[in-house]
């Protein structure tokens, strides 16, 4: 049941350009990927194309918290994908991800660029490389990161990106909006236009003590 929900969310990402839909969908998927079955049942492989398509739309939005959250989801999927299950069966999939990550790194908002650089560091792993290896895309991404080196911060403490899900977040880069304080899969339902909370039952706060990926690959 829960993984039918994952398929549903990815399908919604594929056809939406609304920040009001994209951000909650990204956040719910960030919770779902904590379950190893998300990857063993190939939901990441199924949804990667929809995620990339939605990120291209998210980078056009004025609410910059949306692409930041989407790039966080991409980073976590790239980081947790088992090496035995290739995320990109063909070169076109890798090329599409490299292009959207490069666009994120070159983005004017530093918060978006920083999260994109984090995604890039994981994308460089050997198990994500396509066959044949797209050296041109890799070089372009490295060049985009190099241009932002003076601006990009390096995290002082390793922590998993799931702790960065801001359920009561502020818009990035001086933008503001109100949003739900939490997205609990058992308390939210899809109405066709927005996410509506069900009556609360048992408090279930997301963990804040899990580690995140580094911006650059560790040796």
Alpha carbon distance 97, 90 (integer Å) = 12
Q: Of 117, 178, 167, 163, which Cα lies nearest the Cα of 142? A: 117
Contacts for 120-124: CB closer than 8 Å, 24+ residues apart: 120/145, 121/213, 121/214, 121/215, 121/216, 121/217, 122/75, 122/78, 122/79, 122/213, 122/217, 123/78, 123/97, 123/98, 124/217
| Whether the Cβ atoms of residue 66 and residue 105 lie closer than 8 Å to each other | no
Instruction: Tell me what pLDDT residue 145 has.
Output: 92
The model's pLDDT over 61-108, given as tens digits with 9 standing for 90+, comes to: 989 999 999 999 999 999 998 888 888 878 888 999 999 999 999 998
Q: Residue 64 falls within a domain, yes or no?
A: yes
Q: Residue 211 falls within a domain, yes or no?
A: no
Q: Residue 218 falls within a domain, yes or no?
A: no
Alpha carbon distance 219, 212 (integer Å) = 16
| pLDDT band at residue 9 under the 50/70/90 scheme | confident
More confident residue, 209 or 125: 125
Q: Is 53 strand, coil or helix? A: helix
- Cβ burial 12-27 (10 Å sphere, 16+ → b, else e): bbeebeebebbbbbbb
- Boundaries of domain holding 108: 2-197
Count Cα atoms within 13 angstroms, Cβ side, for 65.
Answer: 21
User: Count of domains in the chain?
Assistant: 1
Instruction: Tell me what pLDDT residue 95 has.
Output: 93
The model's pLDDT over 158-185, given as tens digits with 9 standing for 90+, comes to: 444 443 444 434 444 433 333 333 233 3
Q: Of 80, 63, 65, which Cα lies nearest the Cα of 27? A: 65
Q: Residue 128 falls within a domain, yes or no?
A: yes
Instruction: Tell me what pLDDT residue 67 has.
Output: 94
Give the Cβ contact number of residue 174 at 10 Å: 8
Q: Residue 217 falls within a domain, yes or no?
A: no
Q: Residue 206 falls within a domain, yes or no?
A: no
Q: Residue 214 falls within a domain, yes or no?
A: no
């Amino acid at each position: 049941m829960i993984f039918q929900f994952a398929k549903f969310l990815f399908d919604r990402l594929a056809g939406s350009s609304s920040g009001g839909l994209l951000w909650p969908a990204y956040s719910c998927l960030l919770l779902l990927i904590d379950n190893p079955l998300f990857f063993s049942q190939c939901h990441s492989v199924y949804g990667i194309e929809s995620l990339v398509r939605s990120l291209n739309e998210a980078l056009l939005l004025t609410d910059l918290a949306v692409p930041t959250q989407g790039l966080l989801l991409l980073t976590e999927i790239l980081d947790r994908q088992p090496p035995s299950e290739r995320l990109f069966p063909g070169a076109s999939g890798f090329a599409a991800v490299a292009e959207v990550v490069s666009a994120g790194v070159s983005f004017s908002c530093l918060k978006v660029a920083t999260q994109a650089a984090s995604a890039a560091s994981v994308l460089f792993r050997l198990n994500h490389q396509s066959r044949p290896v797209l050296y041109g895309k890799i070089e372009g991404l490295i060049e985009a990161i190099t241009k932002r080196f003076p601006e990009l911060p390096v995290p002082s403490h390793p922590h998993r990106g799931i702790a960065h899900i801001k359920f009561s977040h502020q818009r990035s880069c001086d933008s503001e909006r109100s949003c739900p304080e939490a997205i609990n899969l058992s308390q939210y339902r899809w109405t066709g236009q927005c996410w509506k909370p069900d009556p609360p039952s048992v408090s279930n706060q997301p963990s804040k003590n899990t580690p995140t990926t580094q911006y650059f690959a560790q040796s």
